[in-house]
Amino acid sequence: MTPSPSTSDRPQMLVEEFEELARHAPESARLEFLNGKIGVKPMPDGNHGEIVAWLLKRCMQHRPELFLYPEQGLKVEAYRKGRAKPDGVLAPEEYFAGKGEWSEPAGVLMVVEVTSHDRDADRRDRIEKPDGYAAAGIPVHLLVDRDTDSVTVHCDPEGGVYRSLTTRAFGAAIELPDPVGFTLDTQKLKDFAD
């Protein structure tokens, strides 16, 4: 008799079932579906929101033809079986018009994640999401890590992982490589460290 695969080897539900659940979830429950498991994104605190707003402004100053869309749902992971809502998605203005809640990532230049102070941040923000974004072929992933007061740029996705990672402490300049193509001075992030 062949043993059945463990629950960790099977998704909790079909992606279509997740999308239906997410569609009917209350506004206070921000759901994601990564590695076959449902996750709940914590509600952002004030500093989290300020960081996203600050990044939105920087992106618009350097690349006015682009927009940093907060909380845009993306299909991620192999065969698009994952669903994520990054804190920011950099894409051409009006790129998501008519595309629905969960969009294909083709055309997305960068995703941004800002860590929250919760027990799942390490697994979710530092492992699962970068792997999902790399598998989806998103060229740049910016992680603003409030636990370590640092920013990490992931780039060069290949084979489901980012081949290049650069980390700098809050206050240092960090290059956001092409197709984003500008240097981000992170001095202001020190004001939002908590």
Answer whether residue 156 is part of any domain: yes
Show the tokens assigned to 72: 């845009």
Could you give the C-alpha distances from 9 to 4, 55, 120, 173, in angstroms and in order?
A: 10, 37, 20, 41
Note the pLDDT of residue 166: 98
| Signed CA dihedral, 188, 184, 134, 70: sign only | positive
| Domain at 180, CATH number | 3.90.1570.10
Residues of the chain with confidence (pLDDT) below 70? 1-15, 17-19, 21-46, 78-80, 118-125
Answer whether residue 86 is part of any domain: yes
Answer whether residue 124 is part of any domain: yes
Note the pLDDT of residue 123: 67
> Domain span at residue 164?
44-192
Characterize the bridge pairing of strands 73-76 and 30-34. Answer: unpaired
The three-state DSSP-derived secondary structure of 94-110 is CCCCCCCCEECCCCCCE
Answer whether residue 180 is part of any domain: yes
Residue type at position 34 = L
Report the alpha-carbon distance of residue 30 to residue 36 in Å, rounded: 16
Answer whether residue 14 is part of any domain: no
How many domains, the chain?
A: 1
Note the pLDDT of residue 106: 92
Answer whether residue 6 is part of any domain: no
Answer whether residue 22 is part of any domain: no
Answer whether residue 31 is part of any domain: no
